[in-house]
């Protein structure tokens, strides 16, 4: 039976049951498992099915465009639908069906449709997960809760990448997508363990709307801290998205025999750091404020860019890439946390998540183009320095313009 949310004496902070907290932990874990299957394994699988690189690139590009275009509508849909769990279940099922489509019908029309559906479902699932978290624990505990989400997501990503890599090697690349679909079952079981009545619908959408708050959608564009955050997020991903692919190419040229292992280490090592740091970052954001943590995450990026420009040893490059874990954990926790701060009382928390997500997507999409042009004309060192400079601009904007958003009562 669903449990009624309990209130801590003398305050508005909810005390969700251990069952619901654990359910959210494992839903986050298995959701990361499921999403991992749609990473680099897509290109590998389609190559084994005799697809041309042009067709693979076209499908991935279309999926990326729909993912970018669906961010704001996806957030608006999460704000509009009650309860959030129902929407999350639907999105997970759609992703499972797309995984089966990949495995069973690897034809161009089916794969194209599956890639589009996966992109749109992911645009809903991301905001829904954060909305469920906020509705479950409330604003005063959301920092620590997002830290737990990041830890379980990181563990899920790492273990899923290893399991799917082994599956692709021992069984077939098709088996990766069958495994992805199978992992939906524990994800849905974990989601079912979260008590429906423990998720406050008003809290989950940035409410309740206060009389002094402007709840119109246009008010988000007039929300100065939100717009600054979106601009900083755009600049961050403009600088960050191309760094790992660019470094991967350099490692391959300098140490082709160990390139695959080194790149895998560059992916796994930051994930381990995320798993270790996430709860601490969440607690620090709650106790010390959002701005110090944000500045830490943004400051690491230009430092990493400069180090990648000057370090030549491929093994040291892996050590430098570990710094990415600091930025990943800080932004993964602090961005939704700050959005929750600045949209409190508007009822448009999830729409704001979509707006910032669009800024992130635009920055990431342009990053590889800028890096590619720079490396072709001026070399790899210049490319890393340009990316570092863009990161420094984001840090400067954060330092100069971004206010502290932690509510005073915390």
Write down which residue in 142, 168, 203 finishes a domain.
Answer: 203
* pLDDT value, residue 5: 42
pLDDT at residue 93 greater than cutoff 80: yes
3 within domain boundaries: no
Cα–Cα separations (whole angstroms), residue 199 to 6, 141, 215, 372 = 11, 14, 21, 45
Contact call for residues 405 and 341 (beta carbons, < 8 A): yes
* pLDDT value, residue 260: 57
Residues near 362 by beta carbon (within 8 Å), at least 6 away in sequence: 68, 234
Question: Structurally, how many domains does the chain consist of?
Answer: 2
- Say yes or no: 150 and 190 in one domain: yes
Residues near 293 by beta carbon (within 8 Å), at least 6 away in sequence: 281, 284, 285, 330, 333, 334
Bridge pairing between strands 14-15 and 6-7:
antiparallel
Contact call for residues 301 and 396 (beta carbons, < 8 A): no
Count of other CB atoms within 10 angstroms of residue 33: 25
Answer with the residue of higher pLDDT: 277 or 345: 277
Q: What is the mean pLDDT of residues 402-408?
A: 88
- Say yes or no: 266 and 146 in one domain: no
- Say yes or no: 98 and 222 in one domain: no
- Say yes or no: 181 and 297 in one domain: no
Taking the complete model, does pTM exceed 0.75, yes or no?
Answer: yes
Q: Which two tokens stand for residue 258?
A: 């160990």
- Say yes or no: 191 and 119 in one domain: yes
Write down which residue in 203, 238, 260 finishes a domain.
Answer: 203
4 within domain boundaries: no
- Say yes or no: 161 and 235 in one domain: no
Q: Which two tokens stand for residue 195?
A: 């008590």
CATH label of the domain that carries residue 342 = 1.20.1250.20
What percent helix, strand, coil does the chain show, rounded to 5? Answer: 80, 0, 20
- Say yes or no: 21 and 152 in one domain: yes
1 within domain boundaries: no
- Say yes or no: 261 and 346 in one domain: yes
Tell me whether residue 76 is exposed, middle or buried, using C-beta atoms within 10 angstroms of its C-beta: 0 to 12, 13 to 18, 19 or more: middle
* pLDDT value, residue 15: 75
410 within domain boundaries: no
Contact call for residues 63 and 118 (beta carbons, < 8 A): yes
pLDDT > 90 in the chain, percent:
21
Backbone angles phi, psi at 229, to 5 degrees: -60, -45
Cα–Cα separations (whole angstroms), residue 364 to 41, 49, 101, 122, 347 = 20, 28, 28, 17, 28
Write down which residue in 203, 221, 248 finishes a domain.
Answer: 203
- How far is 190 from 24, CA to CA, in rounded Å? 7
Select the highest-mean-pLDDT range: 5-19, 162-176, 365-379: 365-379
Q: Which two tokens stand for residue 325?
A: 């874990």
Give per-residue pLDDT as tens, 34-74: 776 676 677 777 777 778 777 877 887 888 888 888 888 88
For the chain, the straight-line distance linking the first and the last C-alpha, in angstroms and rounded, comes to: 33
- Say yes or no: 232 and 162 in one domain: no
Answer with the residue of higher pLDDT: 28 or 208: 28
Q: For residue 143, give its domain range.
A: 10-203
5 within domain boundaries: no
Give per-residue pLDDT as tens, 175-217: 778 888 888 889 999 999 988 888 887 787 776 655 545 555 6
- Say yes or no: 227 and 176 in one domain: no
Tell me if residue 14 falls in helix, strand or coil: strand
Cα–Cα separations (whole angstroms), residue 159 to 26, 114, 156, 275 = 13, 24, 5, 12
Backbone angles phi, psi at 325, to 5 degrees: -65, -35
Tell me if residue 15 falls in helix, strand or coil: strand
Q: Which of 234, 241, 262, 252 is nearest to 357 (CA)?
A: 234
409 within domain boundaries: no
Backbone angles phi, psi at 183, to 5 degrees: -65, -10
77 within domain boundaries: yes
The chain-wide mean pLDDT, for the chain, equals 82
* Helices and strands (H, E) in the chain, number of each type: 19, 2
Q: Which of 265, 47, 41 is nearest to 168 (CA)?
A: 41
Tell me whether residue 218 is exposed, middle or buried, using C-beta atoms within 10 angstroms of its C-beta: 0 to 12, 13 to 18, 19 or more: exposed
Contact call for residues 307 and 247 (beta carbons, < 8 A): no
């Amino acid at each position: 039976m669903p449990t009624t949310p309990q209130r801590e004496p003398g305050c508005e902070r909810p005390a969700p049951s251990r069952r619901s907290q654990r359910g959210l932990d494992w839903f986050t874990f298995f959701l990361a498992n499921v999403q991992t299957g749609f990473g680099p394994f897509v290109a590998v699988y389609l190559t084994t099915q005799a697809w041309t690189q042009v067709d693979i690139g076209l499908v991935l590009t279309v999926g990326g465009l729909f993912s970018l275009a669906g961010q704001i509508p996806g957030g608006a849909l999460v704000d509009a639908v009650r309860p959030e769990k129902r929407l999350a279940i639907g999105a997970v099922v759609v992703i499972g069906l797309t995984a089966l489509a990949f495995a069973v019908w690897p034809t161009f029309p089916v794969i194209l449709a599956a890639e589009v559906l996966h992109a749109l479902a992911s645009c809903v699932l991301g905001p829904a997960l954060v909305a469920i978290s906020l509705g479950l624990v409330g604003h005063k505990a959301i920092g620590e809760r997002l830290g737990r989400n990041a830890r379980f997501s990181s563990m899920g990503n790492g273990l899923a990448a290893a399991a799917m890599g082994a599956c692709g090697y021992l069984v077939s690349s098709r088996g990766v997508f069958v495994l992805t679909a199978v992992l939906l079952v524990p994800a849905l079981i974990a989601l079912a363990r979260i008590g429906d009545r423990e998720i406050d619908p008003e809290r989950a959408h940035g409410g309740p709307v206060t009389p002094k708050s402007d709840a119109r959608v246009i008010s988000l564009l007039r929300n100065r801290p939100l717009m600054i955050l979106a601009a900083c997020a755009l600049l961050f991903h403009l600088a960050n998205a191309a760094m790992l692919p660019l470094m991967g190419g350099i490692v391959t040229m300098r140490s082709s025999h160990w390139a695959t292992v080194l790149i895998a280490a560059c992916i796994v090592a930051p994930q381990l750091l995320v798993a270790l740091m996430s709860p601490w970052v969440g607690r620090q954001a709650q106790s010390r404020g959002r701005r110090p943590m944000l500045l830490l995450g943004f400051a690491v990026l230009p430092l990493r860019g400069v180090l990648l420009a000057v370090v030549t040893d491929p093994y040291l490059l892996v050590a430098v890439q570990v710094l990415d874990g600091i930025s990943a954990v800080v932004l993964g926790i602090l961005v939704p946390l700050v959005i929750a701060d600045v949209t409190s009382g508007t009822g448009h928390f999830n729409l704001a998540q979509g707006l910032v997500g669009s800024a992130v997507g635009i920055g990431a999409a342009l990053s590889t183009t800028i890096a590619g042009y720079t490396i072709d004309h001026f070399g790899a060192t210049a490319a890393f320095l340009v990316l570092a400079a863009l990161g420094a601009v984001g840090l400067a904007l954060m330092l100069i313009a971004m206010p502290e958003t932690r509510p005073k009562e915390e």
